[in-house]
Amino acid sequence: MEELTEPKDLRDWAARTLALPGLLLGAVLAAMIVAELQLHWVERVIGVYLAATNSDRPESGAIWEKGRKTRSARSAVERLASDREAYQRMARNAGNLSEIVGSLTSGQGAMLSAEHFRELYQKLPQGLAADMISPFDLLRLANEGRWSRTYLEKASDGLMVYLLEPNNHVLRQFKVAAAPLALLARRADAASQTLEQMPGFQGRIYPADRFFAALASLAEDERRGLVPQPERLLEVSGQIARVGLSDEALAGFVDIGFEVRTGSQSRVLLLQGQDWAVWRLRSLLEGKSPASRPAKNPLEGISPQ
């Protein structure tokens, strides 16, 4: 085997360089360079390698940042839209104003059709309804044909009600203050509670038989004033165990809570009796003079604008 030696002089260097292995190496190098210039194989190899490892690399850079912002922005909008839809759905399905009031938080609003609001209006206690807006005004607005929708907006100090024409111009607006709202909200919560769990009844909860006995002793007009819709009680399935009288009047009406038991379940059905009839009954139940009346202004809290 020939021993590898270092070239001794320049001639030797040149001879070795121009020998077959050197020339072959040069030719290969030259071919690679020419091929690169013609076929761009280096770029292709790197490009293919990068494409193959693409999924391992970070989603960084302007376009990905923009994508993230888009996703985050769309999800923020999605939340807004779905919240609003939920309120709208709740408002559409609400059977009374109490349900809507109870579901909204401050600053939120719900849009109802004019017809739906009229239905809810009819279910309000007469005094409260009339103090919000006169039924005759409502009738006039409905008859004019311009009132198309109603917007309810919960504020920290009450509920704003806007009666709107199709272009959202306000035909009438009025505010219902916080106190009546609290009572309305309570009515919304009544379904799955006992009388003790509901504020305003403490100390005024009576066994049903005692309540009905006192009721039977009243005159017919007093009974009608106390329970204007007795058919609602007749529809109840289960047994009325206890009855509570609220300590607050709202627009001339007082809540009467009927605790109904079905098996081990309890729920409260709220009806509104006229305040004078309720105080009369309460006097009977507590053995006081029937003349005593509440000092509270029943209309307090309603401020038409």
Partner 1 sequence: MTVWLRRFRTAFYFGLLLLGLAAAGLWIFFFVTLRELPQVPEPLSRIIETPPTEIYAASGERIMLIGGREAVPLNRVSPLFIQAVIATEDHRFWDHRGIDKLRLVKAFWVNLLGTGRVEGASTITQQLAKNLFFTFQRTYQRKVRELLVALQIEARYSKNEILEAYVNQIAFGVGAHGVEQASQVFFGKPALQLNLAEASLLAGLPKSPTRYNPFRHFERAKERQKVVLSRMAAVGSISAADAAQAQQSRLDLRPRGRTEPAGSYFLDLVLKDLEERYGTDVVHHAGLKVFTTFDPQLQAWAVDSVQSGLEKLDQILKVPAAVGGDPAAHPQAALVAVEAHSGAVRALMGGRDYGETEYNRALQNNRLPGSGFKPFLYYAAFEKAGLSPASVFVDRKVAIPIPGQPPWAPRNFSGEYEGPMILKRALSRSVNSIAAQLVERIRAQAVIDAARRCGIKSPLALVPSLALGTSGVSPLEMASAFATLATGGIQHDPFWIRRVEDSAGRILEERILSSRRTLDASVAFQIVDMMRAVLDEGTGNVIRQLGFHLPAAGKTGTTDDFNDAWFTGFTPTLSVSVWVGFDRGMSMRDPQGRGITGGRGAAPIWAEFMRKATEGEPQREFVVPSGIRFVQVVPTTGQPVLPGGPRGVDVALRSSQVPSLAPFSGGRESGLAGGGQ
Taking CB under 8 A as the criterion, the residue among 48, 191, 213, 236 binding partner 1 is 48
Cross-strand bridge partners of residue 258: 243, 269
Taking CB under 8 A as the criterion, the residue among 9, 221, 231, 235 binding partner 1 is 9
**What is the distance between the alpha carbons of residues 7 and 16, in angstroms, rounded to a whole number?**
8
Query: What is 113-155 written as a DSSP string?
Result: EHHHHHHHHHHS-HHHHHHHS-HHHHHHHHHHT---EEEEEEE
Minimum distance of partner 1 from residue 90's CB (angstroms): 16
Q: Does 105 bind partner 1 (CB under 8 A)?
A: no
**What is the distance between the alpha carbons of residues 14 and 7, in angstroms, rounded to a whole number?**
9
CA 261 to chain centre: 30
**What is the distance between the alpha carbons of residues 258 and 270, in angstroms, rounded to a whole number?**
6
| Burial state string for 53-79 with b = 16 or more CB within 10 A and e = fewer than 16 | eeeeeeeeeeeeeeeeeeeeeeeeeee
Q: Does 51 bind partner 1 (CB under 8 A)?
A: yes
DSSP 2: P
- CB nearer to partner 1: give 2 or 169: 169
Taking CB under 8 A as the criterion, the residue among 20, 62, 216, 295 binding partner 1 is 62
Q: Does 63 bind partner 1 (CB under 8 A)?
A: yes
Q: Does 55 bind partner 1 (CB under 8 A)?
A: yes
Tokens representing 151 are: 């917007």
Q: Does 151 bind partner 1 (CB under 8 A)?
A: yes
Minimum distance of partner 1 from residue 76's CB (angstroms): 6
Taking CB under 8 A as the criterion, the residue among 25, 29, 34, 46 binding partner 1 is 46
Residues that bind partner 1 (CB under 8 A): 6, 8-10, 13, 37, 40, 43-44, 46-48, 50-51, 53-55, 57-64, 66-67, 69-70, 72-74, 76-78, 80-81, 84-85, 151, 162, 164, 167-170, 173, 305
